[in-house]
Amino acid sequence: MPLAIDVLSWVLIVLGSFFTVVGGIGLVRMPDIYTRMHAASVTDTLGGGLLIFGMMLQAGFSLVTLKLLFILGLFFFFAPVVTHALAQAALHEDIEPELAEDRRGRAEAMD
Amino acid sequence: MSLDLILRIGTKLILPFILMFALYVQFHGDYGPGGGFQAGVIAAGMVILIAITFGMSAAKRVAPQAVVERMVPLGVLVFAGTGVVGLLLGKNFLDYSVLGHDPVHAREWGILLVELGVLITVSGTMTALFYAFVERGR
Amino acid sequence: MALLTLLAVATIAIVRQRSLFGVVILAGIYSFLMASLLIALDAVDVAMTEASVGAGISTVLLLATLHLVKATEMRPIHANWVPLLVALVVGGILVWGTISLPPFGVADTAVHQHVAPYYLSRSIPETGVPNVVTSVLADYRGYDTLGETTVIFTAGIGVMLLLRGMRRRDDNDRGDAA
Amino acid sequence: MEALETLGRHYNYVVTIFLMVAGLYIVVARGNMVKKLVGLSIFQTSVYLLYIAPGKIVGGTAPILDPAYKIYSNPLPHVLILTAIVVGVATLALGLALVVRINESYGTIEEDEIFAKDDEQ
């Protein structure tokens, strides 16, 4: 494998891991379910996508690449579908998105 | 109801892929990871997904309860029957080398048959379990 | 090693969580962690089964049960330091017992000497199947698998009897009481 | 120092035993039946680890034969655990069915409340 492709794939994999970690931190730090989903979607698209691209470059042209392509396609189609289902379930349970005004109000109430 | 649209279309899109993946896992189990247990669970997962998204009546149209419940003993019978064929043809129980002319090929066929039995039992049992729990909630 | 630690953390979270819904979701996370750990330990077939069964079907069945029963756990009435003590003592004894076991990942231990090399070397010439797990599962140890299939069959029949067959008698009981 | 080294080389056993003991603790100490069943499945999962981890050979690969590889991990524990997982979910379902039936006849799944109701009768 040429060195350039190797380096490129590792850069992609490291970037993908970085975005996955960022998504994980966001999942813990965000205040309510909608913003948490927003953070988790970084893991879905950027993290997963970059990781799979990196792995495809590692695998070269083979059956593995085709399988990874399938996984990537399913990922991009169904991560939004699942996120949408989750958001809708949250709405169905009457969970209101927490707005900046709410938080300001709470901070004033504390003072 | 209209808000469900994305979920319903998405589910419809993914269903054939799930079934294809289950069959791939079943029949590619000789060469890669997979086999009857995994494929059965994945096929049952497809039925459960239908039941969650479209409701129990749709799931029962795809996999009628009577069929599912008959699949549970049928798989065990296929498995044990494969063994009994070996017994009848003068070898030991579950010795597949009599199923064909060439013992190696025969054993490959025996493995496929046995995995088929496992697939039938596992998918039938898992779907029947899900049906039983959901029916109780009504 | 990191995965092992994560597993332990997930277990602690399960012990401490009182909402049963949270417990079920954490059990799903635990199963996925276990599946990734099994991939790291080269058990790809087992990992696939664990991911689909442990994280898929188990979670669905547990959620279906939670739909039927109350979903929060009661605070325990009496102190539970006796079970904790018993658990700690048992754990200590077991850890002490593992010291003489062979370390992780070494090839010349007893488990690798007996039948495993036989299966690995004979699978292709005797059965023509490259996936040794499949050939051992369905051919060499067919009796085992037949037994397991029968266990699944029995469990399925048992659940169906428990949840479906008895309902009519329930109605009669209620009718008698009234 | 030497003890730490031994612990490092036996870390898989330590975690296995921790999971096993935690499962045991949940089963014994917690009164809620669903929680007990989750604890039981944690106990079960620790047994998977107990079987699979010694079968791993460092530098080995998954037991799918290919001319490119020489060393394979031990396939036998994989077979045993593969069936154990599916049987595990079948027994879990049986336990859950029993929980549902208990809930129907007692109206609760907490052990203490069930004992109290039994004492009343």
Neighbours of chain B (3+ CB pairs under 8 A): A, C, D
Q: Contacts of residue D19 in chain C, CB cutoff 8 Å?
A: 7-8, 11
Nearby residues of B125 by Cβ (< 8 Å), 6 or more positions away: B72, C152, C153, C155, C156, D90
Q: Please report the ipTM that was assigned to this predicted complex.
A: 0.84
Higher pLDDT, B89 or B125: B125
User: How much of chain C exceeds pLDDT 70, in percent?
Assistant: 84
Q: Best mutation site among C29, C39, C49 for testing chain D: the one with the most D CBs within 10 Å?
A: C49
Confidence tier at B80 by pLDDT (50, 70, 90): confident
- Whether the pLDDT of residue D57 is over 50: the answer is yes
Token pair in block for residue C144 = 């085992």
Alpha helices in A31-62 (DSSP H): 33-42, 48-59
Interface of D with C in 68-97 (CB under 8 A): 71-94, 96-97
- Whether the pLDDT of residue B59 is over 70: the answer is yes
Confidence tier at A108 by pLDDT (50, 70, 90): low
**Bridge-partner residues for D110, per DSSP?**
D32
Q: How many domains does chain D have?
A: 1
Rounded CA Rg of chain B: 18
Give me the pLDDT at residue B88, please: 80
Structural domain of residue C148, as residue ranges? Answer: 141-178
Tokens 């069929």, residue? B67
- Whether the pLDDT of residue B49 is over 70: the answer is yes
Q: Best mutation site among B53, B133, B134 for testing chain C: the one with the most C CBs within 10 Å?
A: B133
User: Is C81 inside a domain boundary?
Assistant: no
Please state, rounded to an integer, the average pLDDT across all residues of chain D.
82
Q: How confident is the model over C114-139, as pLDDT tens digits?
A: 777 777 777 777 777 777 777 777 77
* CA–CA dist D73, B44 (Å, integer): 30
Give me the pLDDT at residue B37, please: 85
User: How much of chain B exceeds pLDDT 70, in percent?
Assistant: 93
Q: How many domains does chain C have?
A: 2
Token pair in block for residue D45 = 């999962």
Tell me which range, A37-41, C67-71, D62-66, D97-101, is most confidently predicted by mean pLDDT: D97-101
Give me the pLDDT at residue C178, please: 35
- Whether the pLDDT of residue B81 is over 80: the answer is yes
Please state, rounded to an integer, the average pLDDT across all residues of chain A.
81
* Amino acid identity at B138: R
| Mean pLDDT calculated for residue range A12-38 | 86
Token pair in block for residue C42 = 């080269």
User: Is C47 inside a domain boundary?
Assistant: yes
User: How much of chain C exceeds pLDDT 90, in percent?
Assistant: 0
Numbers of helices and strands, H then E, in chain C: 9, 0
Rounded to the nearest 10 degrees, how much is the dihedral formed by the CA atoms of C163, C169, C171, C172?
-170
Q: What's this model's pTM, rounded to 2 decimal places?
A: 0.84
Give the domain ranges of chain B: 2-137
- Whether the pLDDT of residue C164 is over 60: the answer is yes
Answer yes or no: do B121 and C153 touch at CB < 8 A: yes
User: Is C54 inside a domain boundary?
Assistant: yes
Give me the pLDDT at residue C171, please: 47
- Whether the pLDDT of residue C19 is over 70: the answer is yes
| Mean pLDDT calculated for residue range D69-80 | 80
Give me the pLDDT at residue A109, please: 65
* CA–CA dist A31, C85 (Å, integer): 38
Residues in chain A: 111
Taking one residue from A and the other from B, the number of pairs with CB-CB distance under 8 angstroms is 19
**Bridge-partner residues for C72, per DSSP?**
C19
- Whether the pLDDT of residue D71 is over 50: the answer is yes
Give me the pLDDT at residue B134, please: 84
Neighbours of chain D (3+ CB pairs under 8 A): B, C
* CA–CA dist D56, C106 (Å, integer): 8
Confidence tier at C169 by pLDDT (50, 70, 90): very low
| CATH code, D82 | 1.10.287.3510
Alpha helices in chain D (DSSP H): 2-9, 11-29, 33-55, 75-106, 111-120
* Amino acid identity at B35: G
* CA–CA dist D48, B115 (Å, integer): 22
Short-list B70, B69, B84, CA closest to B114: B84
